[in-house]
Structure 1
């Protein structure tokens, strides 16, 4: 059985060292980041089973990181906080944290929480319901696993491409402007051009056409944007 991987995001070195040691002693693989600004790109590019995420990071607030991750992943997140007044927010749907631990904490308590959350996620994944799966026009998408196939063949999509294709599959026939797609696919649109969407659409089409050259599920709507048509 493959070892599960935990990403620890903690800027206080002594706390990070304790968490790393306990996670490793309990049989987990561990990655550590001391900066919040690296988290999103790391999660997008690497396989992680759970994040231990400090609330009070020096560069980006942990809640903001949590919100951004929830735009593209249901990866389990346990927040580590010294601010008791934030607890209600942490467990709210707005931020999407799975659990929280208040400082100072017992490392054994952390491990107990980690095991509980991972067990819950594993059990949920064995009982996937229709809401976690989309089947449309020979596409089959498993949302929790971020996997999609077309005509039975795997589509190797980036996280952004996956989100965009999901938007279309869930809203067949509806026309979306570039701005609407941009807002859906990106947490922060300030430094992103809506022309990035054109590039993503081009890449999705290319990958689909590698499987079926004639397929054209995503169509341009002149002067507006794009829509998904049933094949």
Structure 2
């Protein structure tokens, strides 16, 4: 069944295997999305410059320019959502990909239906987090300011570049500042119950956020409760 929400979205599929590109193009097209393809990292970057998509499905292991390098270049200039494709034995690459700013990953061999589900979840851009937050106005927590309408995160007035998933996660925590969320609860709120994401994925996104805000003095952005989970920190920053 076609998702009406997805019909306006353009997806770039990047993989050196033409069969994988064909299968994913068919599955995403059947879900109502527009697709384009690239067979390597260089072609992907050229396609993104020419016709910016709404999301990139990006294989990690490719000739010429691999997926991790493509991600590095994209993150240097923006927050285009990225879903990585990786081989089953590439655990290190998957973790590195998330730490570079990937939003999620799927392990080969995969079900096309799973890829469509994960693409759709990323594209909904925090719908579940916004439902939890209630009113859709700006969320302010001391030096942290989140604007869901503009998809903008600021620390003490300075804009911080975050990915879609990082914004979703931060908005969820900041909207319920007294609540401690387990990793499973974070996954359920952002993606829906039963969505298959590992704890390591959530931890990688938390590390990314701490690094980005920590460079501006936001070392108390997110608090860890050992054995329980995470909640938003005091967000007061380093003392002057």
Range into which the TM-score falls when normalised by the shorter chain? 0.5 to 0.7
Change in 2 beyond 3 A, CA 1:107/1:72: same
Equivalent of 1:17, from 16, 22, 25? 22
Counterpart of 1:90 in structure 2 is: 97
Counterpart of 1:79 in structure 2 is: 84
For residue 16 of structure 1, report the CA deviation from its aligned partner: 0.9
Q: Which structure 2 segments of 5+ residues have no match?
A: 131-147, 163-240
1:113 aligns with 2:118: yes
For residue 120 of structure 1, report the CA deviation from its aligned partner: 2.3
Please tell me the root mean square deviation across aligned C-alpha atoms, in Å: 2.8
For residue 129 of structure 1, report the CA deviation from its aligned partner: 4.1
Distance 2:58 2:68 in 1: 9
Counterpart of 1:180 in structure 2 is: none
Count of residues in correspondence between the two structures: 136
Distance 2:78 2:23 in 1: 27
Distance 1:130 1:69 in 2: 18
Distance 1:96 1:62 in 2: 12
Distance 2:54 2:126 in 1: 9
Change in 2 beyond 3 A, CA 1:16/1:129: closer
For residue 121 of structure 1, report the CA deviation from its aligned partner: 5.5
Tell me the SS of whatever aligns to 1:111.
helix
Q: For the Cα contact (< 8 Å) 1:84–1:102, is it kept in 2?
A: no
1:39-88 alpha-carbon deviations (Å, 9 max, x no partner): 22321232310000000111111100000011111000001000223222
Q: For the Cα contact (< 8 Å) 2:71–2:97, is it kept in 1?
A: no
For residue 89 of structure 1, report the CA deviation from its aligned partner: 1.3
Change in 2 beyond 3 A, CA 1:126/1:62: same
Give the TM-score normalised by the residue count of structure 1.
0.52
Change in 2 beyond 3 A, CA 1:50/1:131: same
Which structure would you say has the larger Rg? 1
Distance 1:129 1:69 in 2: 18
Counterparts of 1:62-211 in structure 2, within 5 Å, are 62-82=67-87, 83-92=90-99, 95-120=100-125, 125-126=148-149, 128-129=151-152, 131=154
Deviates more, 1:121-130 or 1:56-65: 121-130
Q: Which structure 1 segments of 5+ residues have no match?
A: 136-140, 145-231
